[in-house]
Amino acid sequence: MTLHILTNDLLMPLAHGFFTRRGGASTGIYAELNGGAGSSDQAHVVSLNRARVAEALDLAPASLFSVHQYHSAEVFVLDGEPPAEKPRADAIVTRQPGYALTILTADCQPVLFADHEAQVIGAAHAGWQGALGGVLEATIDRMVELGAQRERIVAAIGPSISQKNYEVGPDFMERFLDDDPENQRFFAQGKGDRVQFDLPGYGLHRLRSAGIRDAEWIRHCTYEDPGAFYSYRRSVHLNEADYGRLMSSIRL
């Protein structure tokens, strides 16, 4: 099956892709390109899916590098041989060719970064917790430490849940207002006491406030298109037992 890959002009000509769920070997609720080893999908099938992504990026499967994500602001710097065990982090940066930095998501923001001139790249998993906690800024800071220049870094946010499909409670909104009252602009009125949160809009705000002039969301909602994307929130609404994970990768 042919993989369906979304790209972004800001990141060209670097090899990168926001991979949809199409083109993999998984079946059932995981169909088709589930990259989540932490899901209950068959491990050998997930490995096959990841190998297909690596092949699309012209790499061996072992060169698809990812981390153990846990909604933090931790950034792993890949410099030399990868560790035997996945490091706990929610972002990766490198200036080392030969590896595809890979983030897994299913509604959260996958964010790919590049300084083309310095040949420094990054990838971040930015759900609401990570974004509020500073994972995007931390990724940029680690890239600068590797030789990138803030004003040259470009960033693209991949498929994420859109505001109209992300309904939350008042306590959720209070966390953001306590951090900055101006965050009110990322919430719209929902039903009753519920509000709708603009996660990609908030991500773009954090990126631009950190000095990233060229940043875009590719404007694909994970919740709205079950044929193309996995969505944690949709799986909950459908009472499904689990959900697949989308892969987003970038390499030098």
Give me the helix-helix angle, 135-145 and 199-209, nearest 10°. 40
Cβ burial of 151 (10 Å; 0-12, 13-18, 19+) is: exposed
Secondary structure (3-state) at 152: helix
The 3-state DSSP composition of the chain as helix, strand, coil percent (nearest 5) reads: 30, 25, 45
Task: Characterize the bridge pairing of strands 100-105 and 91-94.
Answer: unpaired
Tell me the mean pLDDT in the region 123-133: 98
Number of residues assigned to the chain: 252
Contact between residue 49 and residue 36 where contact means Cβ atoms under 8 Å apart? no
Query: What pLDDT score does 140 carry?
Result: 98
Tens digits of residue pLDDT in 55-72: 999 999 999 999 999 999
For the stretch 217-227, pLDDT in tens is 999 999 999 99
Task: Report CA torsion sign: 9, 14, 18, 20.
Answer: positive
d(CA 195, CA 105): 23
Closest-CA residue to 222 (of 93, 107, 66): 107
Indicate whether 102 pLDDT > 70. Answer: yes
Determine the average pLDDT of the residues in 229-241: 98
> What mean pLDDT value characterizes the chain?
97
Confidence check: pLDDT of 250 > 90: yes
Identify residue 82 by its one-letter amino acid code. P
* Structure confidence by residue, pLDDT tens digits, 71-95: 999 999 999 999 999 999 999 999 9
Q: Is 176 a residue whose pLDDT tops 70?
A: yes
Look up residue 164 and give its two tokens.
């109209």
Domains of the chain, each with CATH number or no CATH: 5-162+198-251 (3.60.140.10)
Contacts (Cβ under 8 Å, ≥6 apart) of 243 = 29, 30, 39, 106, 230, 231, 232, 234, 235
- In terms of C-beta density within 10 A (0-12 exposed, 13-18 middle, 19 or more buried), how is residue 201 classed? middle
For residues 69 and 63, give the distance between their C-alpha atoms in angstroms, rounded to a whole number: 18
Residue 2, pLDDT score:
86
Predicted confidence (pLDDT) per residue in 189-220, tens digit: 999 999 999 999 999 999 999 999 999 999 99
Binned at pLDDT 50, 70 and 90, residue 47 comes out as very high
Residue with tokens 């940066």: 93
- pTM value is 0.98
Dist. CA 192–CA 203, nearest whole Å: 26
Report how far apart, in Å, the C-alpha atoms of 50 and of each of 30, 37, 45, 137, 249 are. 14, 10, 9, 28, 11
Residue 1 has pLDDT above 70, yes or no: no
What one-letter code names the amino acid at 217? Answer: W
